[in-house]
Structure 1
Amino acid sequence: MYYLNLFKMPKAVVTKITSLQSRFFWGKSDGTKGMSIVSWSLIQKPKSQGGLGVRDLVLKNAALLFKWWWRFDKEECPLWKRVVCSCNKLDSKKGLEKQQMKNTRSLWNTIGNLRFSEAELFSIFYEGMQLQLGDGTRTLFWNNVWMKDGRLRDRFPNLYRVAVDKACTISDCSFWDGYVWRWGLQWRRALWLWEEQELSELQTGLTKVGIRQSEVDKLIWKHDKEGNFSVKSFLNVLYKNKNLGQEPNMFNFYNNLWRSLVPPRVEIFVWFVILERVNTKDKLVRCGILPTSEITCVICGKAPESVHHLFFTCEYAWKLWGSALRFWNILWVWAGDPRQCFESWIHGANRKGEKEDWMTTFFCCNLVSVET
């Protein structure tokens, strides 16, 4: 982890480590490759988004390196920053995005050139940084993100093109008139009708801006309540923005699934059941591993063996569920699929102590059903 915090991981190393992770999940006892039943992209998603939380090494590495960008822009001038600026001929008063980095493989140049090598991730990172307005002396009116919807140059491109000073700070283009804060934007020519419409929208937004003369402008991370950048919050943003195909994204059950009520291997097994990613006979038939004649349930032999049948509606599984429901003195009807079964089970008990025992019952019944 220390090396990931300083160096960009080579692709060959990423491929090797990912291969070892994949083999841990799907490899057989003799070391050969097994059958994957869940896409690797879903396994890499955070648990809060329906995945297993096995982090993507490339994203993790990028998040750790971008933390140096945050520290360079956020911290005034500590010793480490003075050393970096001296060795790389950088201006400590400017952000990294405003400075030219050499195209070499040195440690700091690699970090500084992430805006080119990881352009997509950099755009997400840069959009997450926002200046909390104080006296307006450090915030660029057009080029910094200091309002919720992004940079003003991107929101009002027609006005930006005709602005006299495109690099002005907020304090440069505004002033106090008594106790009233007024805006004094200047244009190179008279505005056209469509530009007047943009100006009207801009002025509406500016009326909500509050200037605090007693405070200086402060850089904040808008994806954190405290305004501080963290690798975890950045990764959560990346996973929300990452397109992972047709796999499930967000489920209502994740808060109740990962509560450490049972051992982790049981939680993971139930996760597979809820996603219907268990190698039941109906799936093996579809994959051509078993003939159609062998699709019947291995326990009751009366119906096709699917995840829903094997764990919930098989007569032997239902006897187990029935015993649990009689213990709780509750009448129950299963919903259509395993996910809906779990979501309906969540609301079966309301008291805190009872709810934990109630949820533990679900895990135990699923585990015992397959072992039976």
Structure 2
Amino acid sequence: MPVYTMSCFKLPNKLCKEVTSIFANYWWGENDGRNKMHWCSWGRLAKEKKEGDLGFKDLQNFNKALLAKQVWRLISKPNLLVSKVLRAKYFNRDSIFKCKVPKCASWIWQSMMNVRDFVQNGTRKKIGNGKATNIWEDNWIPGNKDGKVTSARP
């Protein structure tokens, strides 16, 4: 699998389907001009191992997960060189969740911005001393649907 490429770039859906097709051909392709036996459906092969199946990955979701990991690294490790470079170029004044994506952005940045909503939905802000927290706008309440205050503003 092209894991390194998938962790840097969003692969086109067509390419993910072609790679999945190659996997399926390996299992169900032909051997000496005869089709191989289809012992079970592809959906069953793609179920998780803990459910007793083979655990093949859905490549589109796996691609999103790897890109989301890169977004999380930008947030959690701001002192890395790549974090400093991307912050200076794309989101110097805003949060990574609020910045605009310029039309001239690199393919890596566009790919990461494609999954930032997934990361935002799964994160909660750590309060600390509270100076950098906007209690009405930030996601900070654990266990709440969107992490925001549900009561009306005064």
Q: Give your verdict on TM over 0.5.
A: yes
- Name the structure 2 match of 1:232: none
TM-score, with structure 2 as normaliser: 0.78
The Cα of 1:54 is off from its aligned counterpart by: 0.9
Instruction: Name the aligned partner's letter for residue 22 of structure 1.
Output: A
Instruction: Name the aligned partner's letter for residue 81 of structure 1.
Output: S
- Judged with a 3 Å threshold, the aligned counterparts in structure 2 of structure 1 residues 25 and 64 are, in CA distance, closer, same or farther, namely same
SS state of the match for residue 26, structure 2? helix
What's the RMSD between the two structures over aligned residues? 2.6
The Cα of 1:60 is off from its aligned counterpart by: 1.2
- Name the structure 2 match of 1:206: none
The Cα of 1:20 is off from its aligned counterpart by: 1.2
Cα deviation digits, residues 84-134 of structure 1 (max 9, x gap):
233x3421x64311100113562333234304xxxxxx5543222123332
Cα deviation digits, residues 265-318 of structure 1 (max 9, x gap):
xxxxxxxxxxxxxxxxxxxxxxxxxxxxxxxxxxxxxxxxxxxxxxxxxxxxxx
Specify which of 12, 16, 19 is matched with residue 17 of structure 1.
19
- Name the structure 2 match of 1:56: 58
The Cα of 1:62 is off from its aligned counterpart by: 1.1
SS state of the match for residue 63, structure 2? helix
SS state of the match for residue 5, structure 2? coil
Instruction: Give the whole-Å Cα distance in 2 for the aligned partners of 1:55 and 1:80.
Output: 28
Alignment size in residue pairs:
150
Map 1:225-240 onto structure 2 (within 5 A). Answer: none
- Name the structure 2 match of 1:98: 98
Cα deviation digits, residues 221-250 of structure 1 (max 9, x gap):
xxxxxxxxxxxxxxxxxxxxxxxxxxxxxx
Contact 1:73–1:95, Cα closer than 8 Å, also in 2 = no
The Cα of 1:74 is off from its aligned counterpart by: 1.5
Specify which of 117, 120, 139 is matched with residue 145 of structure 1.
139
**Runs of at least 5 residues in structure 1 that lack an aligned partner in the other structure:** 116-121, 164-186, 188-372
**Runs of at least 5 residues in structure 2 that lack an aligned partner in the other structure:** none
Larger relative contact order, structure 1 or 2 (CA cutoff 8 Å, min sep 6): 2
Contact 1:23–1:33, Cα closer than 8 Å, also in 2 = no
The Cα of 1:75 is off from its aligned counterpart by: 1.9
TM-score, with structure 1 as normaliser: 0.36
- Judged with a 3 Å threshold, the aligned counterparts in structure 2 of structure 1 residues 72 and 43 are, in CA distance, closer, same or farther, namely same
Instruction: Give the whole-Å Cα distance in 2 for the aligned partners of 1:89 and 1:123.
Output: 17
Aligned residues with identical type, % of pairs: 25
Contact 1:66–1:111, Cα closer than 8 Å, also in 2 = no
- Judged with a 3 Å threshold, the aligned counterparts in structure 2 of structure 1 residues 65 and 112 are, in CA distance, closer, same or farther, namely closer
Instruction: Name the aligned partner's letter for residue 111 of structure 2.
Output: I
